[in-house]
Amino acid sequence: MSIVFLTNSLLTTVQDLGRKHFRRFGVNPNGTMDKTAARLVNILLGNDENESVLEMHFPAPKIQFKKNALVALGGADFCAKVNEKEIENWRPVYVKKGSRLSFSKKTSGNRAYLAIKNGFKTSNWLGSASTNLKAKVGGFKGRSLSKNDELFFKKERFEPQAQKTNYKISKSLTPPYSAFPTVRVIAGAEFEKLTEESKDGFQTQSFTVGNESDRMGFRLQSASLNLNNKFELISAAVGFGTIQLLPEGQLVALMADHQTTGGYPRLAHIINYDLPLVAQLGAGDKLNFKFIPIEEAEELLLAFENDLNLLKTACRFL
């Protein structure tokens, strides 16, 4: 009926795909950083893709199961073990009552997702199970999980079948995670206000993810980028993936807990299809940017959605 957290961890929160319809009140969408990973692990278990999952950073918590459960892990690879047995990402895993799930080291990515058949029991807020750490609402009591917390399953009496676990999501469907990805972007409203040299620099330099990077945004370090003329921009909406130019010439890429509005120049926007690649980066990782037309970004989403629909159908028959 529940899992119990045996240790503290860096930042473990309950998230779904995010909160819609309340940005106009200054309420940001929150939700998982890597939406593709969260959707895939849910689909794998036959859950609604918007079902709540645990988002974990490394060091990740040690978790004890108080009931038999069917789970799936995805996103970052933290070398998960159930008791002493190593378990792989992207496949359903049957976990027996009393077992302990632990994570020994980080080998790729920075955010791992744990989904459970039928999902967790969460406190929903404004139509979403996602945790809003600022307003201290949603998810698990509006906060991150720590030692001795107990997170209940949504369907307490559900008894999973142990035998149905011999399949795995094909590599062609999981994002091509890398510690140095090329990330596709579409141009932002103020990109043309950069000097020619900086326009060039944006497309040719590599950027390093800074230490002060969290669920709100990633600082991206490089040689400074400069505007032709200084100008005051009045605050307007920004989104997950908006890349802003800060006054000292460095960039910030806004992430899942971003503010709803901002007043810094918008140089570019990371396309939704590539956001998971950025969401999995950590301090010291690098990335490059490549512009593509918006129609191409839409086509990528469309093609991926068709693949996901096939996967959903397949998982339903298993």
Partner 1 sequence: MKYKIFPLGDDALTIDFGNEISAEINNQVLKLARFFDQNAFDGFIETVPAYSSLTVFYDVLKVRKSTAGFPGAFAAVRSFTENALKNLDEFGEIQTRLVKIPVCFDAEFALDLEFIASENRLTADAVIEIFLRRPYRVFMLGFLPGFAYMGEVDEAIATGRKPAPRAKVPRGSVGIAGKQTGIYSLESPGGWQILGRTPLELFTPEADESPAFLRAGDRVRFYRIDKFLFEKSRNELFKTEK
Residue 216 sits in the site that holds partner 1 (CB under 8 A): no
Residue 23 sits in the site that holds partner 1 (CB under 8 A): yes
| Listed residue (142, 136, 82, 91) closest to 115, CA to CA | 91
Q: CA-CA distance, 59 to 92, in Å (whole number)?
A: 23
Q: CA-CA distance, 204 to 200, in Å (whole number)?
A: 6
Structure tokens at 255: 């992430």
Spell out, one character per residue from 128 to 167, where the chain touches partner 1: x when CB under 8 A holds, - when not.
Answer: ----x-xxxx------------------------------
Which residues neighbour 124 within 8 Å (Cβ) at sequence distance 6 or greater? 138
Structure tokens at 237: 């909406």
The continuous run of DSSP H or E covering 275 comes out as helix 275-279
CB of 242 to partner 1, least distance (A): 7
Residue 116 sits in the site that holds partner 1 (CB under 8 A): no
Which residues neighbour 168 within 8 Å (Cβ) at sequence distance 6 or greater? 88, 90, 91
Q: Which stretch binds partner 1 (CB under 8 A): 19-27, 88-96, 172-180, 193-201?
A: 19-27
In the complex with partner 1, the residue whose CB is nearer, 6 or 187, is: 187
In the complex with partner 1, the residue whose CB is nearer, 101 or 137, is: 137
Residue 214 sits in the site that holds partner 1 (CB under 8 A): no
Residue 87 sits in the site that holds partner 1 (CB under 8 A): no
Phi, psi dihedrals of residue 238, rounded to the nearest 5° = -130, 170
Q: CA-CA distance, 304 to 33, in Å (whole number)?
A: 18
CB of 19 to partner 1, least distance (A): 10
Spell out, one character per residue from 231 to 270, where the chain touches partner 1: x when CB under 8 A holds, - when not.
Answer: xxxxxxxxxxxx----------------xxxx---x--xx
In the complex with partner 1, the residue whose CB is nearer, 116 or 268, is: 268
Sign of the dihedral defined by the CA atoms of residues 299, 301, 302, 304, in that order: positive
Residue 117 sits in the site that holds partner 1 (CB under 8 A): no
Binding site for partner 1 (CB under 8 A): 20-28, 125-126, 132, 134-137, 186, 188-189, 231-242, 259-262, 266, 269-272, 294-295, 297-298, 301-302, 305
